[in-house]
Structures are given as C-alpha cells and as structure tokens.
Amino acid sequence: MGARQSEEERKAGLSFVIGTEKVHVVILKAQDLAQRNSIIDTMLNLPSLRSTYQLLYLAVPRLLGATIDSATFRSHGIGLLLFDERRIDEAVTPQTARPGIVEMTTRTQEATIAAELATLKSMYSQMEKDFAQLREDLRRMSASEIGSERVPTSLVAPQEPAFAHSVGERMGLPSYFSNNPWLDVLSKRGRTENDLIAG
Amino acid sequence: MRDDREYRSHYTFAMDFGTSDFKFGPITLGEAPRIVNNRGYFPDKDSVMYKAFESTSDVIVGDEVPLYLQSAEELSSRLVYPMRNGVIDKSDDQAWRVVSSLTSFSLDAFKPGNNGFEGYYVVASLSSVSPRYMYEKLMDIFKTIHHGKVRAITVIPQPFAVAIGHGVTTCVVIESGHGNSQICPISKYPVRAAQVALNRGGGDANAITSEILKDTGYGDLANEEAVVRKVKENIGLVPADLDSAIQETKKSPRKVRATYKVPGTRVEIDLDKESWTRFLIGEYVFNPKHEIFESYFGRGMPRPKDVKMGDTVFKGMLDFGEAIIASVERCPVELQQMLYREILLSGGNFSWTVPPKLQEIAVDSPTKIRMLLRERGIKNVSVMMTDSPQFSVWHGCIIYGFAVPENYEWDWQRLEGWMKLSN
C-alpha cells in the first residue's frame, strides 16, 4: 500500500501515513475484552482522534464481529477491521476527515463561546448590583415601619421552591422529590441563620 | 471534580430505625426501601442450625433470623428488639450490638462497584425522644464499621423526616407507634424545645382490647398478643363522641355488632350485646381520661403513667388535643396559626377505619384530632395522614441526604449536619 509508520507520538494503536493522509488504527485486543472500562474508554476516545487523522480505524477480534453494528461506524466515518490469527478484513471503510477544517471550526466556536461567556458575566454582575440595591431598599422600608404590628403571614410563610421541580425531573429522582420545598430549604443549610425561627 | 448532585443521586443512603421495622437502602431504590425486622438474634453457638450455617456472627439480623429461632422459651433472652420504645439504654450492650449488626448488614446489602464510589452519604433517623448519647453511640458505630463505605453520616429525628418526606416546611408532626407518641412542631428545623411526648401508643389499645376480650368470655385469647392486635385492628373504632356512640349502640346493637374470625382457625369472636365496647378501644388511644376507663384501672389494667426515659418526660394521661395545644403554645405566637394549619399524623396507631354504615358515630384519626382541638377552642385546623405512612421517614431521610451541603458540619448543640468519615 505504500504506507509508512508515522513518527508521531505513539498513541495506543498504529499510525501510518499514506501519501498525505494520516491513518490511525486503534486496536482492541482479546485481553481488553475482559475489561469493561477498557472497551468503554476506547470507544469514547475514538471521535476525538478524528481531528488528528484523516482515516481512523478500530481493529477488534473477529469474534466481536457479529455483535457490532457496522452502520454506527459508517455514520461516524470510522473504519472497522476484524482480525484473527490468520487475516485482517476491512468490514467498514472509513471516510476521510479534514482535520484542517475541523480545527478552524473548533477555533471559531471557541471564540464565539468566549464572547458569550463574557456577555453572561457582565449581565450577572449587573444583576448582582440590582439585587443588592433591592435588598437595601427593602431594609429601609422595613425599618421605617415602626410599631408592634405582626409580621404579615405572607412574609413568614414558606417560599416557593427555587429548583425543587426542575431538579427532580432532570435527574430522574423519585416522585417524592417533585415540588418538594425542602430541597430548597435544606440546600441553604449553613448559609444563613435567618432560617431559624425557633429551635 | 465530581458533580455533587449527580453523585448524590446515586449514593445517598437512608436508615429508618423504627420500633418494629428497620427500613434502609440507597436513593436508587426509588419509592420503597428494603425492610427487615428491627431485631437481632443471639444464637446458641452449640446449636445444630448455627453449626450447619457455619455462621461466625454473634448476632443474626435480617431475613436469616427465622432460620435460627428455636424454642419459644429462648426467645425472650435471645431475640432482642432494640428500639421497642424508641430509646435504648446506654448500657444495653445487646441492643447496641443489634444496631451495629443491622447497620453493617444494610451497607453490605448495597455494595456499589468501583465506578467512582467514594462512600455513601448516610442519613439515619431515630425517635425524636432519643437522648444525645444515642446519637453519639450511633455515630461511633459508623466510625467503627464504615471501611470506606460511608463518606459522611448524619442523624435526624423521625418526625422531622416525616415533614420532609411529606413536603411541608411548617407543621406539627404527630408520630404514634407501639409504645409512645410524640408531638413535634417543625419550622424548617425541628422545634425541639416544644416537643411533647405521650406514654401511650398502640400497645395501650392492645391492653384495653385484651380487657374487653376477658370481659366478653374470650379470656383464653386475651393473652395472645398477635390475636389481640388483630382483634383491635378489625373491630376497634374511634367514636366521634363516646357517650353518644354507646347510647346509639345500645339502641341498635345489630348495626354495630362486632365479629371477627381468626384466620386459619374455627375461632370466631362475637361481642354481641357488648359490641359497644369496640368504641372504647379507639377512644382510649385519643383520650384515656374518660370516666368509663376508671373501672378498668380499678380492676388492674395499668393506668398510663408519666415516665422519664432518657431526657424526656412522657405524659401518661394527656389527651391528644391537650398535648398538641401544649406543644404548639411553646412556639412563638406568630408561628402557632401556621402550625395548626398543617398537622400531620404518622404511624400505625393512627390507622383507624370507618365502616360505611357507621359514619355517623365513628370517625377516622384526623377527624378525632380536629374534634378534640375544637373542644378546646382551636378551630381552623387542618389535620391529615401522611401520604405514605410506611415510608415517609425513609423518603425524608433520602431528601435530606441529597440536599444538605457537605460543608454543613455536624454540631452537637444543634444536632444537625454532616459528620465526615472519608475524605
């Protein structure tokens, strides 16, 4: 094929250069199959290699061939090699990736995200200032009401839960988490002594 | 750095040490915990069963206990229920060994794999009348047995857990079990100074049922606790007004006739003309001061006394209305109205049913409590049973363990916070 082994940093597997294209083969050996974490780790790292190599293969023992869905590899442009002691077969042909474009796209995205973060940060600072001003105004109003009037029940009543509903639903927690105001109350334990009405 | 909430959505663990049952398990169990009896058996190490199972344990807990039980005579010395009254004596070594064994057993039943597990956040719950030394002993047990399985431990009172599980931040929780009852105001924290305890529970309803069986010719059954409890559950009623209920029953005895067949036997109990006595069973739980009970006390039935257990005085003869008012009036005035609006009943001793034909003279527990309070001038009250009386404590513990920040450290004054065991 005219391939030569790449001199780049040896990741787990083999790297080649064919013409101008860089090829990398990640090898999952028979002994790796016994380690669930090893398989998961290998599979999760595959997409990240697409930005470095134009052609990417995963090589697995032939006995896994029947269990692997080739369509998944095709949709991600990753090639699949099945090997045993006698031969190696290409089960899925990889698609050529263009690392240059991927890098440029990534750099553009990073700049956009950084700009948006800066905007959010300045909005948050402004909100903090507004909130501090509101708190100060409320304190002045309360101080100006002199007398033995009882605190209205509405100000002493439990507050609406800030995140009870969304936390429960998002994290798939049991039903008794749903709309439970204690999630908000307990999450603030230790932050303020104003919670303590009697005890 | 791991996401704390994500971690706790897997590794929060709760333990509810009830008077009869020990309910335990991680948050991933969902709605219901695992349940075993809150008891331990100290086997005879020379017994065939002990040798056959090759057990090296000094205390047997969990589902294996029945395999080791031998003669009935041995049960009283070998079978230990550590929390029958909610309080364990400081020097009761056997009881503490049972608690230690149950704690180990529960953590071993749910050993996670090594997928980033750094120990459970464990929330244990005890009776609200548990003295400080029980918290100390329980924490010491965890320090001894955890071996990396526990990241942090905390202990909360059961009524507090009930309020959390039920989702109400300002309320009065009334917990009534076998041996005693506790009235506990909650306002984002337990209002410990306002707690009132009663030396009266389901066991007292059993006692009056036993007397009724003796009086009506079933004396041979009166000494069998399991039968007495079943009779109580099946024929006992709570009257709206005891005097009216007795009059109504005497006018129409057939309407109120109480019969119960013991399952699997030919034994059938029929109170016939004495069926009015079924109202005494429920009334005694809520108000033992009615004059009708004096004749039973005179004949030897123990009168509920004021007793001190640990740091708490348990009142014997207060009715539930007086007890609730006494508790609420220890709280700030601004809080009292809100407390009366949310009274939660928890515990098996409040599980009284009302037969459809008797809805005019029999009531359920929430109605009875409302009536007792109205008699004393407290109106605009809301009384309800907890949604899940069997699991509300465990639910509350799970929520507490999930939500309280790890940097809220244990404080012996406040009796709240996390005691960290692993880094």
The answer on B218 and B363 residing in a single domain is yes
Q: Do B164 and A182 touch (CB under 8 A)?
A: yes
pLDDT digits 0-9 by tens, B159-180:
999 999 999 999 999 998 888 8
Mutation target to probe the B interface, by most B beta carbons within 10 A, among A186, A188, A192, A196 is A186
State the pLDDT at residue A8: 53
Alpha-carbon distance B41 to B69, whole Å? 8
Between B54 and A148, the higher pLDDT residue: B54
Alpha-carbon distance B172 to B327, whole Å? 9
Note whether residue B331 is domain-resident: no
ipTM of the shown complex: 0.88
Is B188 touching A (CB cutoff 8 A)? yes
To the nearest whole number, what is the mean pLDDT of chain B? 89
Distance of CA A128 to the CA centre of its chain: 28
State the pLDDT at residue B79: 85
Nearest chain B residue to A153 by CA: give it: B334
Q: Which residue matches tokens 């990398």? A: A24
Could you tell me if B162 and B175 are in contact, meaning their C-beta atoms sit under 8 angstroms apart?
yes
Token output for B308? 């001190």
Nearest chain B residue to A170 by CA: give it: B6
State the pLDDT at residue B160: 96
- Is it the case that residue B251 has pLDDT exceeding 90? no
Alpha-carbon distance B263 to B374, whole Å? 40
pLDDT digits 0-9 by tens, B109-135:
998 876 788 999 999 999 888 899 999
Task: Find the DSSP H helices in chain A.
Answer: 36-49, 70-76, 99-144, 153-156, 164-170, 182-187
How far does the CA of residue B313 sit from the closest CA of chain A (Å)? 19
* Residues contacting residue B121 through CB under 8 Å, at least 6 positions apart: B8, B11, B12, B13, B151, B152, B401, B402, B406, B418
Across the A/B interface, how many CB contacts are shorter than 8 Å?
98
State the pLDDT at residue B134: 95
Is domain A4-96 in CATH 1.20.1740, yes or no? Answer: no
Alpha-carbon distance A185 to A189, whole Å? 7
The answer on B125 and B26 residing in a single domain is yes
Interface of B with A in 129-168 (CB under 8 A): 163-165, 167-168
Q: Do A176 and B165 touch (CB under 8 A)?
A: yes
Note whether residue B337 is domain-resident: no
Token output for B197? 């305890």
Between B19 and B276, the higher pLDDT residue: B276
- What CATH number is given to the structural domain containing B286? 3.30.420.570
Q: Which of B98, B146, B89 is nearest to B121 (CA)?
A: B146
Chain A residue numbers with beta carbons less than 8 Å from the beta carbon of B3 are: none
State the pLDDT at residue B253: 83
Could you tell me if B15 and B123 are in contact, meaning their C-beta atoms sit under 8 angstroms apart?
yes
- Is it the case that residue A135 has pLDDT exceeding 70? yes
φ/ψ of residue B26, rounded to 5:
-85, 170
B145, amino acid identity: I
The mean pLDDT of B4-22, rounded to a whole number, is 91
Is B388 touching A (CB cutoff 8 A)? yes
B50: confidence class by pLDDT, cuts 50, 70, 90: low
Q: Domain boundaries in chain A?
A: 4-96, 100-127, 158-188
Chain A residue numbers with beta carbons less than 8 Å from the beta carbon of B395 are: 174, 176
Alpha-carbon distance A116 to A126, whole Å? 16
The answer on B276 and B239 residing in a single domain is yes
Q: Do A176 and B31 touch (CB under 8 A)?
A: yes
Note whether residue B309 is domain-resident: no
Domain around B371: 201-303+352-385
Task: Quote the radius of gyration of chain A (alpha carbons, Å).
Answer: 30
Alpha-carbon distance B390 to B259, whole Å? 28
- What CATH number is given to the structural domain containing B56? 3.30.420.40
State the pLDDT at residue B178: 81
The answer on B416 and B372 residing in a single domain is no
Note whether residue B221 is domain-resident: yes
For chain B, how many structural domains are there in total? 2
Nearest chain B residue to A151 by CA: give it: B334
Q: Which residue matches tokens 């389901």? A: B202
Q: Do B169 and A182 touch (CB under 8 A)?
A: yes
State the pLDDT at residue A180: 95
* Residues contacting residue B316 through CB under 8 Å, at least 6 positions apart: B198, B199, B200, B288, B303, B304, B305, B306, B307
What is the pTM assigned to this prediction?
A: 0.69
The mean pLDDT of B283-309, rounded to a whole number, is 91
Nearest chain A residue to B394 by CA: give it: A176
Alpha-carbon distance A127 to A194, whole Å? 23
Nearest chain A residue to B411 by CA: give it: A190
The mean pLDDT of B128-157, rounded to a whole number, is 92
State the pLDDT at residue B55: 57
State the pLDDT at residue B3: 62
Strand B343-346 versus strand B40-41 pairing type: unpaired
Interface of A with B in 156-195 (CB under 8 A): 156-158, 167, 171-177, 179-183, 185-187, 189-190, 195
* Residue B208 exposed, middle or buried by CB count within 10 Å (0-12, 13-18, 19+): buried
